[in-house]
Amino acid sequence: MGAGGLRVRIFPTARHAAAALARCVAREIRANPRLVLGLPTGRTPIALYQEIVALERSGHLDLSTATTFNLDEFAGIAAAHPGSYRAFMRRHLFDRLRSPIGRIHFLDGTAPDAARECERYERAIARAGGIDLLILGLGANGHIGFNEPGRRLVARTHLTRLTAATRAANAALFGGRASRVPRQALSMGMATILHARRIVLLATGAGKARTVAAAIRGPLTPRVPASFLQLHRHAEVWLDEAGASRLPGRRAGAKA
Ligand code: GLP
């Protein structure tokens, strides 16, 4: 189904979407073993990482020559902290693979000079030749990475303030306490994201349906950062039925 500039794919369930995306990653790596992948965190990609691990462990996917860049990281949180996104990636992907990923890149949330750390990350992405396939999740408030809704967006990797809604959404990583979620984070910027050669935004569940519709069908607005994906030539939105339920022409309230 085509919608604006974005290609939309709808799968029966979140598990189907995750499995198809894992197979897509495997195909991309077979075509280009030195693939540079951009990776998200959040509850949504957990199923994707499970599917990637299953493919890798059964010999159908080899990440040992690939490079990864994670989208974002909490400020002031050390890599070893269980709430860090690096620890999340270790739990769900990195430590589960038979052979380690060729090169893993992360923003360092404890870097004393955040601006320099962000510049370092931009340079590392450029040195790797840019991101070939960037997988994104979608914040319920429309954020991508940690590019939060507001009056303006930032182009490059930057230090940003998290909204109360995003801190609440990330509370599970900090013992269920939103107050313990850092107030700031480092994130790829909108241009960093839009310069990826191919983008797949994965959004599943009825809780994302309204934001999905705004991102795909709504005007480009910094109040819905994901709406800027409409500018990209090769951006796709992969949904389950529930995530797609508020798109025009779909049955409202369809179950996942
Ligand atoms: C965090 C991440 C985003 C992610 C979002 C969605 O805030 N910074 O990159 O897309 O969570 O999370 P979930 O998949 O749990 O809804």
pLDDT tens-place string over residues 229-252: 999 999 999 999 999 999 988 765
Ramachandran region of residue 142, left (φ > 0), alpha (ψ -120 to 50) or beta?
Answer: left
pTM score, whole prediction: 0.95
Q: Is residue 37 in some structural domain?
A: yes
Q: What is the CATH number of the domain that holds 95?
A: 3.40.50.1360
Pairing, β 6-11 against β 2-3: antiparallel
pLDDT digits (tens, 9 = 90+) for 143-174: 999 999 999 999 999 999 999 999 999 999 99
| Bridge partners, residue 186, by sequence | 73, 159
Q: Is residue 245 in some structural domain?
A: no
The pLDDT assigned to 32 comes to 98
Q: Is 139 in the pocket of ligand 1 (CB under 6 A)?
A: yes
Q: Which three-class secondary structure state does DSSP give residue 187?
A: strand
Residue ranges of alpha helices (H) inside the chain are 14-31, 44-57, 85-92, 114-127, 164-169, 190-194, 209-217
Q: How far is the CA of 72 from the centre of ligand 1 (A)?
A: 10
pLDDT digits (tens, 9 = 90+) for 29-83: 999 999 999 999 999 999 999 999 999 999 999 999 999 999 999 999 999 999 9
The pLDDT assigned to 251 comes to 60
pLDDT digits (tens, 9 = 90+) for 105-150: 999 999 999 999 999 999 999 999 999 999 999 999 999 999 999 9
Residue type at 200?
Answer: V
Which tokens go with 233?
């030539």
Q: Is residue 134 in some structural domain?
A: yes
Please indicate whether residue 72 is annotated as part of the active site.
yes
> If we measure between CA atoms, which residue out of 108, 109, 138 comes closest to residue 124?
108
Atom of ligand 1 nearest to the CA of 145: 9
The pLDDT assigned to 43 comes to 96
Residue 3 has pLDDT above 90, yes or no: no
> If we measure between CA atoms, which residue out of 102, 97, 6 comes closest to residue 54?
97
Mutating to test ligand 1, I would choose from 69, 70, 138 the residue with most ligand atoms within 8 A of its C-beta, which is 138
Please indicate whether residue 141 is annotated as part of the active site.
yes
Q: Is residue 99 in some structural domain?
A: yes
Atom of ligand 1 nearest to the CA of 43: 15
Q: Is 192 in the pocket of ligand 1 (CB under 6 A)?
A: no
Q: Are 256 and 242 in contact (CB under 8 A)?
A: yes
Atom of ligand 1 nearest to the CA of 208: 16
Residue 1 has pLDDT above 50, yes or no: no
Count of domains for the chain: 1
What is the domain range of residue 23?
Answer: 3-240
Residue 195 has pLDDT above 80, yes or no: yes
Q: Is residue 252 in some structural domain?
A: no
Q: Is residue 247 in some structural domain?
A: no
Q: Is residue 249 in some structural domain?
A: no
Tally of CB atoms within 10 A around 226 = 28
Q: Is residue 101 in some structural domain?
A: yes
Please indicate whether residue 60 is annotated as part of the active site.
no
User: Which pLDDT band holds residue 183 (cuts at 50, 70, 90)?
Assistant: very high
